Structure 1
Amino acid sequence: MSKLINDITINAPIEKIWSILTDLELLGQTDPTVKKATLISENKTGLNAKRKVLMLDGKNWFDEKITVFKPNEELVYQLTDCSFPIKGLKHTYSFQKNGNSTKVQQVMEYTVKYGILGVLMDKMMIGKQFNSGINKFLTGLKTYAEK
């Protein structure tokens, strides 16, 4: 299993960031690598809320659901299906108030497909691509939350 840890400080209260992260259809407005996020569950937010995400490249996609929902404390998204060479992936978000700002940390844990070949692909490119995508997302989240 691979793990990527990233964080960003956003000049916005935890409550605002939480509401953005838990609105499943907003991802296309906060993540520049995403074309569209569509709700695929009856519940719009909360535990077990699900979305389908189409990537900007037009060929990749993923489905995910919320598996941990502790308002303003911890949020976990778990992939349920995807077009990537991944067989398990989850994003865990935590929050720390810093005066009028909030530090948002995202921990991504994932397992690649294809055994040792997948491990090599991860070391050479998958991890770097994921890390780049996470940083683009966090920057987009910051921009959206601060406006």
Structure 2
Amino acid sequence: MTTLRAECDIAASAGVVWTLLKDFQQIDAFNPNLSRSFHIGDAPLEGLGAERRCELKDGRNWIEERVIDWRPGESYTVEIYAGTMPIRDVRTTLAVSPNGAVSRAVMQITYTPKFGPIGRLLDLLLVRWKMRGLMDSVLKGLQQKSVESLAAHG
């Protein structure tokens, strides 16, 4: 099992950042790795049990995920239950907390590579690097969108 963590400070209140995070179906608003995201099934739009499908910009890959932990104003954790990624048992947490005059955003991903020993080797050589880049771009997108939202709404 692999666990990766990324953090960034955002020059906006935790409330502003949470407003973007809690709009669960619209993660594509700040995740530059996605071409689109949308609600699926009869699940709630946000909170525990909410589900979405995310289509990646590469045009080939997609994931479907559901919220398994929801802490209003703080964090949520999703599990990927279907998709085309070379990993399984995926849990991702997005969190925000006050950090002095700014907010601290955290993204943590835990997963197991598919394909046994070959998958573990690929994880060491390629997948971790790709996942870290994905996480950094998500947090940078969240940072940019939060600051834009703050400027637009005062």
TM-based fold match above 0.5: yes
CA contact (8 A) 2:25 2:46 kept: no
Q: Which residue pairs with 1:56 in the alignment?
A: 57
CA contact (8 A) 1:50 1:64 kept: yes
TM-fit CA distance, 1:74: 2.9
Pair 1:100–1:41, CA change in 2 (3 A): farther
State the alpha-carbon separation in 1 of the partners of residues 98 and 124 from structure 2: 34
Residues 1-147 of structure 1: matches in 2 within 5 Å? 1-42=1-42, 43-147=44-148
RMSD of aligned alpha carbons: 1.2
Work out the percentage of aligned pairs sharing the same amino acid: 24
Cα deviations by residue, 1:44-71 (Å, 9 ceiling, x for unpaired): 1010100000000100000011111111
CA contact (8 A) 1:35 1:56 kept: yes
CA contact (8 A) 1:50 1:65 kept: yes
TM-fit CA distance, 1:133: 0.7
- Residue segments in structure 1 that go unaligned for 5+ positions in a row: none
- Residue segments in structure 2 that go unaligned for 5+ positions in a row: 149-154
Q: 1:72 is paired with a residue of what secondary structure?
A: coil
CA contact (8 A) 1:91 1:107 kept: yes
TM-score, scaled to structure 1: 0.94
TM-score, scaled to structure 2: 0.90
